[in-house]
């Protein structure tokens, strides 16, 4: 299992448009991709990700586990940077 920590920088919080992009990326991998905030939820399920209500400045983790976990976590980190929604802090 791999894990990275992020801080949400999007002033609107985690909302539908960037979340949709993250879910699309996560679904492209066989590995499990998990968002860990209030709860641990699959990043392949948009409603579960949005239900976390992550606000600007909040830190959260992304975990990947499976055959393509390295590529998956890097793709998620890249998508967050490209969407200008979060910065990697660990």
Which of the residues are catalytic? Answer: 15
Torsion sign (Cα): 6, 82, 57, 45: negative
Using CA atoms of 36, 39, 44, 45 in order, give the dihedral in degrees to the nearest 10: -150
Per the DSSP assignment, residues forming a β-bridge with 5 are 61
Environment class of 90 (CB within 10 Å of its CB; exposed 0-12, middle 13-18, buried 19+): exposed
């Amino acid at each position: 299992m791999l894990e990275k920590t992020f801080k949400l920088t999007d002033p609107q919080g985690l909302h539908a448009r960037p979340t949709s992009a993250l879910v699309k990326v996560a679904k492209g991998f066989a590995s499990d991709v998990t968002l860990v905030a209030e709860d641990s939820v699959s990043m392949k399920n948009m409603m579960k990700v949005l239900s976390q209500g992550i606000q600007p400045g909040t830190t959260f983790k992304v975990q990947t586990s499976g055959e393509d976990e390295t590529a998956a976590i890097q793709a998620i980190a890249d998508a967050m940077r490209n969407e200008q929604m979060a910065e990697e802090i660990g």
